[in-house]
């Protein structure tokens, strides 16, 4: 498609410098952009590509040094966010799936809303309710009494087990499993483990997005709850009875143990591990590979294993890196003390 540059600039509140008649055919990174592309520049590290980019137009911050006359500039306060706004408005991908494929199985008791599209080999079991404008791609399975809200998108090979609830405008990427059994066992006097039935459900509220191969376990009792606006990256494990607060984002390979409650507007980076039965405050940032072993009761940045306030963790890390120097200094001090003792011994004779 072709996008009029004036319309794009109006969308993001930008000011054009250069050719107003440019039409954008695509968007691209500054180092890869070609003629007809729109790109953006917001970090100093990427300024090295400015002289060689072939883009037709570029989003820049105010007062950027516009040394090239063959490119059109759009000044905005935040080129990064402006670029994403244009991407969403004009270049969002369309997922083509229409009608109900004859290879799918829909139980007679299931209720299917208006304009629902269902792909090949999809199974929708007894008592399920699927809202309007939902797309369910190939090989996805909804077991008994599952509810899916309006305008949701379930990609290939998603599994949603019995009685789980999915809100409106939810996106679930391929391979994700909702409502698998929580990891619940007890050992008898002989050390043999016995399964504890997991009879709760999963509730996923509106505007949630779950990446590929995410696992959200059903509660042992009650519900595992993913609240409104949460975004989970690929390969995140959410254990039974976890509650994740609104608009929290969690990066890949993070694992959250059972019955932990995470607050609103948190940011959890990759490979973070969180123990069970604790609470994490609103507005907490957990740096990558942190291990959370106890409750976090106030907002802020945390890092390390066990996780500590970020400034404290950096100080400790600096001391750890200096341990070889500390050891050498201690050895020197020990030698000096030894020599002093020998001198004192000689003087005392």
Residue 129 belongs to domain with CATH number: 2.160.10.10
Question: Whole-prediction pTM value?
Answer: 0.88
Q: Are residue 87 and residue 110 in the same domain, yes or no?
A: no
Same domain, 277 and 162: yes
Q: Does some domain include residue 98?
A: no
| CATH code, domain with 56 | 3.40.1390.10
Mean pLDDT by 10 residues, the chain (349 residues): 92 96 95 96 94 97 94 96 96 90 98 97 98 98 98 98 98 98 96 97 98 98 98 98 98 98 98 98 97 97 94 88 89 89 80
Structure tokens at 212: 């590929």
| Same domain flag for 59 and 201 | no
Q: What CA–CA distances, in Å, run from 198 to 177, 220, 265, 275?
A: 15, 4, 29, 20
Q: Are both 33 and 169 inside the same structural domain?
A: no
Note whether 325 and 304 are same-domain residues: no
Please identify every residue annotated as catalytic. 240
pLDDT at 17 (0 to 100): 96
Residue 349 has a pLDDT of: 67
Q: Could you read off the pLDDT of 189-233 as tens digits, one per residue?
A: 999 999 999 999 999 999 999 999 999 999 999 999 999 999 999
Dihedral class, residue 184 (left if φ above 0, else alpha if ψ from -120 to 50, else beta): beta
Is residue 96 situated within a structural domain?
no
Q: Give yes or no: residues 73 and 205 share one domain.
A: no
- Residue range of the domain that includes 342: 316-349
Is the Cβ–Cβ distance between 304 and 291 less than 8 Å?
Answer: yes
pLDDT digits (tens, 9 = 90+) for 296-332: 999 999 999 999 998 898 888 888 888 898 888 998 8
Indicate whether 120 and 207 sit together in one domain: yes
- Report how many domains make up the chain: 3
Within this chain, do residues 180 and 302 fall inside the same structural domain, yes or no? yes
- 198 and 281 belong to one structural domain: yes
Domain boundary among 91, 121, 141: 91
Tokens read off for 114: 């208006």
Same structural domain for residues 129 and 271? yes
Q: Tell whether 164 and 272 lie within a shared domain.
A: yes
Q: Is residue 245 part of a domain?
A: yes
pLDDT at 1: 79
Judgement on whether residues 304 and 325 belong to the same structural domain of the protein: no
Last residue of a domain, one of 91, 119, 139: 91
Nearest of 268, 263, 225 to residue 249 by alpha carbon: 268
Nearest CA-CA partner of 3 in 29, 21, 15: 21
């Amino acid at each position: 498609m072709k996008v009029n540059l004036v319309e794009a600039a109006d969308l993001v509140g930008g000011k054009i410098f250069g050719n107003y008649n440019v039409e954008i055919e695509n968007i691209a990174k500054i180092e890869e952009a070609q003629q007809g592309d729109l790109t953006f520049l917001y970090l100093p590290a990427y300024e090295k590509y400015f002289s060689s980019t072939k883009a037709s137009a570029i989003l820049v911050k105010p007062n950027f040094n516009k040394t090239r006359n063959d490119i059109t500039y759009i000044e905005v306060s935040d080129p990064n966010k402006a670029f994403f706004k244009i991407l969403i408005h004009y270049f969002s991908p369309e997922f083509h799936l229409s009608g109900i494929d004859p290879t799918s199985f829909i139980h007679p008791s299931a209720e299917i809303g208006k304009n629902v599209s269902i792909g090949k080999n999809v199974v929708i079991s007894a008592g399920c309710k699927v809202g309007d404008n939902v797309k369910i791609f190939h090989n996805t399975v909804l077991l008994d009494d599952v509810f899916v809200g309006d305008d949701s998108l379930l990609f290939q090979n998603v599994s949603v087990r019995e009685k789980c609830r999915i809100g409106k405008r939810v996106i679930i990427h391929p391979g994700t499993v909702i409502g698998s059994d929580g990891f619940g066992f007890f050992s008898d006097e002989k050390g043999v483990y016995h399964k504890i039935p997991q009879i709760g459900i999963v509730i996923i509220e509106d505007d949630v997005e779950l990446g590929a191969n995410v696992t959200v376990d059903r509660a042992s009792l009650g519900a595992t709850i993913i609240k409104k606006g949460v975004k989970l990256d690929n390969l995140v494990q959410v254990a039974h009875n976890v509650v994740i607060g609104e608009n929290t984002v969690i990066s890949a390979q993070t694992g959250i143990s059972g019955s932990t409650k995470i607050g609103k507007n948190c940011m959890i980076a990759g490979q973070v591990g969180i123990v069970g039965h604790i609470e994490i405050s609103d507005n907490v940032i957990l740096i990558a590979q942190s291990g959370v072993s106890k409750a976090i009761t106030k907002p802020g940045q945390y890092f390390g294993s066990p996780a500590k306030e970020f400034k404290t963790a950096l100080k400790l890390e600096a001391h750890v890196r200096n341990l070889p120097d500390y050891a050498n200094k201690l050895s020197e001090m020990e030698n000096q003390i030894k020599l002093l003792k020998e001198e004192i011994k000689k003087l005392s004779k």
